[in-house]
Chain A
């Protein structure tokens, strides 16, 4: 038991180094802009079971938060700046997202096929 748990203790930094050096295949990158409280494009299509990098640039002068329960992501994008994060691998289906600060207009969907 003790040896097993000691292994666990040493596993964390090893995992950390291993994760950082993990040579992931280059993820497809999709660019989305925010202008006047709307995502553009508001509908994107990605292949199933594939990791994708989303880069979102906010051209408005107010912050926006990309929020999606379906995608399990909440990311703040400050005015005039951009933020990147990864989604997937996902099963085929539709995954909604919205801008938390302007949910009436900032709506979007990721279609996974």
Chain B
């Protein structure tokens, strides 16, 4: 019970910051699927890269990448700091600093669904965007060699002059755990519109496609984890296609 109180205290403290929201919604090319499971003591250098092709006839791909350091503080709190960059055919720029916090709310495997909570705070380089916050429930379930994830997320900017609104979206993933080095599955990323003003089906941003995953041990307590996905946009407002990948060095 004391652990539960500590978790609620941390969540409450971090939740207090983004009381006022207003934001552009953005399904970034380097987005990834969050897992509610926290591994105590895990340290990782986390790199992500993504590139997407716009649908409006523009052939210039939009790309993003990030590098971060994450640490499993205890059995229920994982925290990570990122730096993010974006570029298109002509320009590149440092985009933002991000602080991700993940709280595992249930004991691993105790219930049919493992539940976590995410709070992510971002300081965009463009100060007109103010600060960005993303938060929501992370759900994971497993059955035999299958693992399924569903994350229900809210995202918004506050204190800025651009991108008003709070947006709702979800992420989903289905994975078959074939062997440690190679697993197969599928991912979906979707932003549905502002909480108080839903987009029409075609205005929503949604991308879905196959993914592969794996982990290779390099030595004692050292490993490389990766996942790669190719996603097709399923609505007129979505990128035509997205290639996204993540590689983590755990030590």
Asked if residues A19 and B142 are in contact (CB atoms below 8 Å), the reply is: no
Docked CA distance A47–B129 (Å): 56
| Residues on A with beta carbons closer than 8 Å to the beta carbon of B75 | 75-76, 83
Determine if A86 and B107 form an interchain contact, defined as CB atoms under 8 angstroms apart. Answer: yes
Label chain A's interface by main secondary structure.
mixed
Q: How many residues of B contact A (CB 8 A)?
A: 32
A100-B221 contact in complex given A8-B152, A9-B168, A74-B39, C-beta closer than 8 Å: yes
Given contacts A19-B113, A75-B39, contact A84 B139 (CB under 8 A): no
* Interface SS of B by simple majority: loop
Contacting B at CB under 8 A, from A8-59, are: 8-9, 11-13, 15-16, 19-20, 22, 24, 27, 51, 53
The CA-CA distance from A15 to B29 in the complex, in Å, is 30
> Shortest beta-carbon distance, A4 to chain B, in Å?
10
CB neighbours of A100 from chain B (8 A): 220-221
Q: Are A20 and B108 in contact (CB under 8 A)?
A: no
Complex Cα–Cα for A24 and B105 (A): 17
B residues 109-152 with Cβ under 8 Å of A? 109-113, 115, 136-137, 139, 142, 144, 147, 152
Interface centre among B105, B111, B147 (most CB of A within 10 A): B111
CB closest chain-B residue, reference A73 = B108
Closest to A77 in B: B40
Q: How far is the CA of A22 from the CA of B113 in the complex (A)?
A: 11
B interface residues, Cβ below 8 angstroms from A: 39-42, 72, 75, 105-113, 115, 136-137, 139, 142, 144, 147, 152, 168, 170, 177, 180, 192, 198, 201, 220-221
